[in-house]
Structures are given as C-alpha cells and as structure tokens.
Amino acid sequence: MIDFRRFISCLVSTFILSLIASSTLVAADRPNILFIFSDDHAINSISSYGGPLADVAPTPNIDRIAKQGAVFVNSFCGNSICGPSRATILTGKHSHKNGFMRNTGKGFDQSQWTVAKALQAGGYHTAVIGKWHLKTTPQGFDHWEVFPGQGSYYNPVFIQPDGSTKQFEGYATDLTTDKAVDWLDQRDTAKPFFLMCQHKAPHRTFAPALRHLGAFDDVEIPEPDTLFDNYENRSKTLAGNEMEIDRHFDWAYDAKVRKDERGEVQLPAPDRYGTPEYSRMNEQQRSEWNAYFGPKNQEFLKQFASGQMDHDQLVRWKYRRYMRNYLSTVKAVDESVGRLLKYLDDHGLAENTLVIYSSDQGFYLGEHGWYDKRWMFEESFRMPFIARWPGKIAAGSRPEHLIQNIDYAPTFLEIAGLEIPSEIQGRSLVPVMEQREVPWRSSLYYSYYELGEHAVPQHFGVRTQRHKLIHFPISNEWNLFDLQVDPQELKSVHDDPGYASTLADLKDEFNRLRDQYDAPPLPKR
C-alpha cells in the first residue's frame, strides 16, 4: 500500500532539489563580468585604437582584448570628470538624474538603484577594488576595498570593508591587481562574478612604478599638431583655461624654477621635480627615484639657468616629461590587464567571461596644449571601450555605433538575464556586440557641471557621427564643428551661412535630447 504522505514528501524533495540544481546551473552558465577600469586613459595612448602613439607606446595586453573582441570606436562619456562618470556607469543615468554632477559636490546617493545592487540580488558575487571616488561607502558589493579619494601611487591606503583604513607597501596598480586576484581566488564559485577592478593610473601625478622609470627615455614622443593652439575661432572661454602644459603644469614634473635674492637659480630638493608621492615613499623607493630623476633634473636646471631654452623649448621639455611618465603609468595598467587575462586562462574562466577595458573619460596628451579633461572636445569626450566575449563578440570587430557610459548598466543586466528598469537612460550594447541589426541612436548628449575648476566653464552639447554643437551658457556662445572637415576642432562654423541649416537642426536635436533625458534648466549668465 502506498504511503501518500511519504510519496508527496519525496515529490516535494525531488522538486526542490531540481530547482536548486536548475538555479545552480543557471548561475554557473551566466557569464562572469570582469570590468577593468582606469582613470584618465586617453584612447590616443591605447595602440588598438591606432592613434599617434601606437608604435611608440604599445599596450599589448589591452590590445589582446581588442584582437579577440571589439574596439568600440565611437565610445563617449556623458560628463568628462571622474566621479560623475563612475556614478553614471553604476546607474545608467546622466549626472543630473543620479545626482552626482560634479567631483566637488556631495557624495553619491547610495539609496538609489545601482547595477551592482541588481547583480548582487540577481545571484552574482560582486566586488569593487581600487579607485572608487564617490565619497560614500560602496553598496551592492559582497566585497570592496577602495582608495580614499584619489588614492596614492606609492604605499597607498585602502579603506577596508569594516570602515577602517590600512596602508600597504607597494605600487597602487600592482596592489589593486593583487587584491583583485586574491578575491577571485576566494570568491563563491557557485555564482557568476561581477568584478570592478579600478585603477588610479594614469591619473596625475603620473608617478611610474620604479621598474618603469626611463621606459620611454629612448623613444621620440610625437608632438601633437595643436600643442601650441592659440584658441582662436572658437569660444572666448577657451583662452581662459588653466590646464595648459605651458602656463599651468606646475605641480608634478613641472619646470618652475625659483630664484634667490641675488637672482640666482635655486636648486630644488629632490622631490621638487619628482611628485607629491615622494613623501609617501620608503627609503629604498626614494633612493631609486632620486637616482633616476636627480641627474635629469640637474641637467635641465643647467640648461634653463644658462638661457639655453627659449619658451617653445621649455614647453616641449615639459611635454616630454609629462608624456614619458604618463605612458609609464599606462604600462603598469597594461601589465595588470595581462595578469587578469592570464588568471582567466589558467582557471578555465575565459570562455564564459565578458572582459571590458574602459576608463572614466579621455584625457589631453598635449592636444590644444592641455593635460587634463573636462571640455567636450574629442580627446576628453571620447572614452575607451574594448570588450571580449567569446562566442558573442566577433574577434577584431570595430563597431561604429555611438555609445555612452549610460549604456554600461543595461548591458550588464541583459548579460545577466535581469530586467532593465524603465528609468535607465542608456541602452544595452548586447545587440551591438552580437552585430544584430537594430535601430540605434544618432546623437549623444553631453553636460559638464563643475564650477570653474581649471577655469573650464559649464557647457553642454550634442554630437552626431559628423557634427558637434557645444553651448556655453555663461558667455551665451554656440560652437559648431564639422568633424569630417575639421577633426581637430580648430574652427567653429556656427556663423558660416553654409552651415545654417545644420546649426538649426543640431539646436533642435540638443533640445530634444534635453527633453528626452529630463535635463535641468541651463545656468544663466
């Protein structure tokens, strides 16, 4: 005779076990997401983008992602500054919607929805390690270990998950990678993972790892055509900037020389031509740093004091010093990418992991005479986005779709099989990755909200595949660029009668995007 209670109990147990097995299988099959993120990495210093530095400063490990995946050639940020870009990536919303509009504002509102929270709740094991720069404590991560503020290159402090701080000896890029690898070793392997490995480099003060000192000494760094830009034929606000290699490059590796009361050149302390990182170094690190920079600085001072350098030669000296150290910090980031790719290979994870390399925005490498970001000009508006996803992204592909950092969060959600909230302003890139024919956007919206840092005014704009329109509300100016005719953006054609219809169309598109994204009123004069 059948014991129905026992029979039903067995059925229920079998059903529960099948559900557990099914959910475990689904979790195991869903792709891992490895998001490698740097700070201020210009596409012109990533060789797979084919820029002017491709031959002299190759990035072989980042290029490996490109060769096995895709280089998104029209990738842009929505607000070219560190913290706001990170907030946009977490929320899929423009700065005015997620509330983190400027670095100098209040901290990121952690009560709002983020893609990390969604992935964590959806069964992913989540972690963020390295630069955070959002002022409030990370949420949505099973593990986090982040720098306070900008972080330091040498012997950096990391905020621990319990809120305490701990200093670690070594170089920030290496330590961030070490911690990422350690977390991968200890993660919950029953779940797919979402890891944000976020570097300080190559953000200023561009302090290279000791092993890379002199890595580019024997390389002729090509000089951008616009190094001595005179800022004519564009907004009058450009000439008032305070981010020029010429006039403003005066904290790390600069060429300022003080004179004593007799008018004679004073030789600086060793760190004067090193970096603020110098004070953080231990004795051995400082000794190696001095051994490299000391003789070079003394030689420079001799030339400068003897009058052997004219103005242009001095700018070029500063440019070369800047670039050699910037590229050296990139070199360590590229090595980090290689270590993480090797980890995936060695542990059988490469085939089921989406790997993305990106940065919070672009950066000026001497173009227009600048060294920072902020402006809507191409060098800082563009941000790298290189992705590898075996079986989904065609190796060696170069999508030309206009993408933006509002698109990252919905992409992660679709990959994880999770619902995309209606309030997200971006679009999933999965159809683009899979080369599906889908309707796509024809324009991008840009906003910059900082209040005068580096004397860059608030400005807003729209970009299409060919044209860019920038509005400067405080000076009530419009600048229009034909990127096909003038890729270096040296002459605004906003008052050219031949572009009158283009100007009108772009103003309409600018206003349409502002309505679509529910943008706040523009600042008044």
Q: Pairing between strand 143-146 and 125-130?
A: parallel
| Backbone dihedral angles phi then psi of residue 129, each to the nearest 5 degrees | -135, 130
pLDDT for position 298: 82
User: Dihedral sign, CA of 118, 119, 123, 125?
Assistant: negative
Whether the upstream peptide bond of residue 202 has omega within 30° of 0, thus cis, is yes
Alpha-carbon torsion angle 356, 359, 362, 365, nearest 10: -100
- The residue ranges of every structural domain in the chain are 30-209+328-439, 237-319, 453-516
Choose among 338, 59, 56, 329: nearest CA to 212: 329
pLDDT for position 297: 82
Choose among 201, 202, 156, 162: nearest CA to 179: 156
Choose among 317, 301, 297: nearest CA to 265: 301
Choose among 115, 102, 173, 111: nearest CA to 136: 111
pLDDT tens digits, one per residue of 357-397? 999 999 999 999 999 999 999 999 999 999 999 999 999 99
pLDDT tens digits, one per residue of 427-440? 999 999 999 999 99
Token pair of 339 as six digits: 């270590």
The DSSP code for 285 is H
**What percentage of the chain exceeds 70 in pLDDT?**
90
**What percentage of the chain exceeds 90 in pLDDT?**
82
pLDDT for position 250: 60
CA distance linking residue 403 with residue 465, whole number of Å: 11
pLDDT for position 306: 82
| Backbone dihedral angles phi then psi of residue 479, each to the nearest 5 degrees | -120, 135
User: Taking residues 279-287, what's their average pLDDT?
Assistant: 92
pLDDT for position 2: 42
Does position 6 have pLDDT exceeding 80, yes or no? no
pLDDT for position 412: 98
CA distance linking residue 189 with residue 197, whole number of Å: 18
Angle at 384 between CA 383 and CA 386, to 5 degrees: 150
Does position 257 have pLDDT exceeding 70, yes or no? no
Identify whether the C-beta of residue 197 lies closer than 8 Å to the C-beta of residue 37.
yes
Token pair of 377 as six digits: 């000009």
pLDDT for position 525: 76
Alpha-carbon torsion angle 192, 407, 404, 89, nearest 10: -60
Rank 6-20, 250-264, 284-298, 497-511 by mean pLDDT and report only the highest: 497-511
pLDDT for position 15: 40
Identify whether the C-beta of residue 96 lies closer than 8 Å to the C-beta of residue 122.
no
pLDDT for position 4: 42
Place of tokens 């004070």: 279
CA distance linking residue 411 with residue 329, whole number of Å: 29
pLDDT for position 409: 98
Does position 125 have pLDDT exceeding 80, yes or no? yes
Q: Which uninterrupted H or E stretch holds 481?
A: strand 477-482
pTM for the predicted model, two decimal places: 0.91
Helix (H, G, I), strand (E, B) or coil at 23: helix
CA distance linking residue 357 with residue 113, whole number of Å: 24
The CATH number of the domain covering residues in 453-516 = 3.30.1120.10
pLDDT band at residue 258 under the 50/70/90 scheme: very low
Beta strands in 4-124 (DSSP E): 32-38, 70-71, 75-76
Write the burial class of residue 268 (CB in 10 Å: 0-12 exposed, 13-18 middle, 19+ buried).
middle
pLDDT tens digits, one per residue of 101-121? 999 888 999 999 999 999 999
pLDDT tens digits, one per residue of 59-70? 999 999 999 999
CATH: 3.60.15.10, 3.40.720.10, 3.40.980.10, 3.40.50.1950. Which one for 30-209+328-439? 3.40.720.10
pLDDT for position 23: 37
CA distance linking residue 147 with residue 34, whole number of Å: 19
The DSSP code for 365 is S
**Choice among 7-11, 369-373, 400-404 with the minimum mean pLDDT:** 7-11
| 197 DSSP β-pair partners | 36, 129
Whether the upstream peptide bond of residue 148 has omega within 30° of 0, thus cis, is no
CA distance linking residue 227 with residue 245, whole number of Å: 9
Buried b (16+ CB within 10 A) or exposed e, 364-385: bbbbbbbbbbbbbbbbbbbbbb
User: Taking residues 486-497, what's their average pLDDT?
Assistant: 98
pLDDT band at residue 1 under the 50/70/90 scheme: very low
Token pair of 21 as six digits: 């097995």
| Backbone dihedral angles phi then psi of residue 398, each to the nearest 5 degrees | -140, 75
Helix and strand totals (H; E) in the chain:
12, 15
Give the CA diameter of the chain: 113
* HEC sequence for 214-249: CCCCCCCCCCCCCCCCCCCCCCCCHHHCCCECCCCC
User: Taking residues 511-523, what's their average pLDDT?
Assistant: 97
pLDDT tens digits, one per residue of 187-206? 999 999 999 999 999 999 89
| 448 DSSP β-pair partners | 459
Contact partners, residue 373, CB within 8 Å, separation at least 6? 40, 80, 81, 361, 362, 363, 364, 380
Cα Rg for the chain, rounded, in angstroms?
A: 25
Does position 264 have pLDDT exceeding 70, yes or no? no
Helix (H, G, I), strand (E, B) or coil at 48: helix
Angle at 394 between CA 389 and CA 399, to 5 degrees: 100
Helix (H, G, I), strand (E, B) or coil at 404: strand
